[in-house]
Amino acid sequence: MEVIIGILLILLFNHTNLPPELHQDNLQSSKPVLGTSNEREYILLQSSPHRDFAIWDNLQFDSTTRISSIIHIPSSVLGIALVDKQNNFISWLPEAEIKFDYDNLGVIGAGDHLYWWGFEDIDKDNNNEFYAQFAYAGTAGVYPFYLYTYKNKKFTLLLKLIEARSKAEVLDLDNDGIKEVVYKYALSGSGNRERETLRWKDIWRIEDGKPVKVNNQFPDEYKELIPIYDKALTTQYNKDFYEFDYPVYRCLKEKAELNINGQFVDAESCKGILRNKNKK
Ligand SMILES: [Ca+2]
Ligand SMILES: [Ca+2]
């Protein structure tokens, strides 16, 4: 037994002490290097709009170009840009640039963290879409989701969704070859109870080049929300807190049931109830 543990320890020790160059399998070129973090080296963005910008990660765009997440190193804020193979900056994607907010001495970008991204033809119109979900540090769990279409050599922002405790998925719900965007979120990110129970989801599809909500085409997707609202409306534990939002839970439940019955609705009017209630 001791021998086996010893071998495991040696293997573990050897793995974590690999020479640094063996950890750099994500990099397409190793020079020039601007700095290092625990995870990887930064590749200096050549012809950069700012000297502190580096390439964080790349997606292949075409034979000469990549879609790159760009990091402003001092602030860890990320943006998205087209970059050539020699690491020359070409252009930012719309609304995903890193900007300096001189009034507040801050840096604004698309997010602090890039969760996942993709570049593929999701609506089968022979033009690829680019999508990315970011995260912002903070308890509300705001994870901005961006969806672009690339047509006539131009990126156009189709969707930018920024809600609390959100999660986007790009998947083909009904196996018809067209992918849907499922965006789950909370109507309020102000407290644990709100984040977990004021839940909603919208289902988006690109139709004729425009994003449209198609919630009622996926009635089964709304069945999982009903028990969340029912529990919030009947719980006895900390009932006072839940009671405060009863009108919102009832509104959400009604909307979910309408989608289950095939009638399209979203939760915009429920957001209105929540806003008005909080004003009082
Ligand atoms: Ca497409
Ligand atoms: Ca589909």
Identify residue 132 by its one-letter amino acid code.
Answer: A
- pLDDT over threshold 80, residue 48: no
Give the residue extent of every domain in the chain. 1-110, 118-280
Tell me how far the alpha carbon of residue 180 lies from the centroid of ligand 2, in angstroms.
6
Chain mean pLDDT for the chain: 85
Q: Which ligand has the minimum distance to the alpha carbon of residue 178?
A: 2
Q: State residue 24's pLDDT score.
A: 34
Residues with CB under 5 A from ligand 1 (ion): 121, 123, 125, 127, 129
Longest distance between any two alpha carbons in the chain, whole Å: 69
* Structure token pair of residue 279: 């004003």
pLDDT at 214 over 90: yes
Overall average pLDDT of the 173-185 stretch:
97
Q: Are 117 and 133 spatial neighbours (Cβ–Cβ below 8 Å)?
A: yes
Average pLDDT rounded to a whole number, residues 36-43? 57
Tell me which residue has tokens 């009671």: 243
Which pLDDT score, from 0 to 100, does residue 4 have?
54
Average pLDDT over residues 239-257: 96
The answer to whether residues 182 and 201 touch, using CB atoms and an 8 Å cutoff, is yes
Three-state SS for 113? strand
What are residue 91's phi and psi, to 5 degrees? -165, 155
* Interval between CA 208 and ligand 2 midpoint (Å): 15
**Residues comprising the chain, all counted:** 280
Q: Rounded to an integer, what distance in angstroms lies between the CA atom of residue 264 and that of residue 279?
A: 28
